[in-house]
A and B are shown apart, each in its own frame.
Chain A
């Protein structure tokens, strides 16, 4: 009852404030000059990124260094959580010991299999089509990370590890992704350009499909890095609490 009263008060306050504020703000009639620049230039103009997707060209070309730093922040966050959960060799072996078992009814397992396959396909298309349609490396990678999450929820984490995707491999895939991003950023330096330059160093088209120059490479490597980074953290988080208590020597 008290919650309901609080909810009504919050709703009333928000509605009053938004009604009051919306009268003061004039409606937007025109594009901002900056937005206009990006819309005109991302594919056709003189400063073209050769990508019909204005957002991806902003993310990885015009404001590419921002995204590079954002990737670095994400990298540090993953490194931080991996450090918190570090185990020695014996403990890592013991954390892996266990049998995959299905705790949920059969139909759930079948639906999960179909869904995981669909998630893999959709995430790959989000990431690899990022220079043509809405989407990109981070979006695709975070969609990809849902697939191992579903497997962990339904079949436990041992099923993932038995099939070859353990923490070490996830970290290796993630490192390949980060290395790829760094190399793609550095390649223009070798060819006499500046760091993270896109056009005209990278090819604009392949087999008639616009690639957006370096955008497709950045998207692909970011896809690997984000997907595998999340997977590594989930594999660590899904180690049962009893095992952690044992590793840490906590008695309760």
Chain B
């Protein structure tokens, strides 16, 4: 049983890593926010598997809801594309 948990854990950790990489390299900031929300969902699953339900409850609301919304407000007030 623990092997299944560890397998899910490593897969979600990889998903989180891939999406955080995508979020960092993306030029379209709205897409980057969406990627970071996917990464947050993966990490929420990790927290749940590591038996930290208290963290999950705060993390889902903040990282998926409030943090994304805050960044979308900021993008709405500035520009959508990252200019280098």
Contact = CB atoms under 8 A, between A and B. Distances in A.
Contacts of A234: 69, 73
- A interface majority secondary structure: helix
A145 B61 contact: yes
A32 to B, nearest CB: 15
Query: Chain B: interface residue count, which band?
Result: 20 to 34
- Chain A interface category by residue count: 20 to 34
A55 interface: yes
Most buried by A among B54, B56, B58, B77: B54
Interface in B55-78: 56-58, 61-62, 65-66, 69-70, 73-74, 76-77
A11 B14 CA distance: 8
Given A145-B61, A146-B65, A149-B66, A135 B25 contact: no
Interface stretch (A2-10, A61-69, A172-180): A2-10
28 contacts: A3-B22, A6-B25, A7-B18, A7-B21, A11-B17, A11-B18, A14-B17, A134-B53, A134-B54, A134-B57, A135-B53, A138-B58, A139-B54, A139-B61, A142-B62, A142-B65, A142-B66, A143-B57, A145-B66, A146-B65, A146-B66, A149-B65, A234-B69, A234-B73, A237-B70, A237-B74, A238-B73, A241-B76
Nearest to A142: B61
Contact of A230 (B22, B56, B66, B74): B66
A135 B57 contact: yes
Nearest to B51: A134
Given A56-B54, A134-B56, A142-B65, 20 more contacts: A6-B25, A7-B22, A11-B18, A55-B54, A126-B57, A134-B53, A135-B53, A135-B54, A136-B54, A138-B58, A139-B54, A139-B58, A142-B58, A142-B61, A142-B66, A146-B66, A153-B69, A230-B66, A234-B73, A241-B76
Interface string B16-34: 0110011001000000000
Nearest to B77: A241
Contacts of A136: 54
Contacts of A10: 17, 21
A134 B56 CA distance: 9
Majority SS at the chain B contact face: helix
Interface string A209-230: 0000000000000000000001
Interface string B31-61: 0000000000000000000000110111001
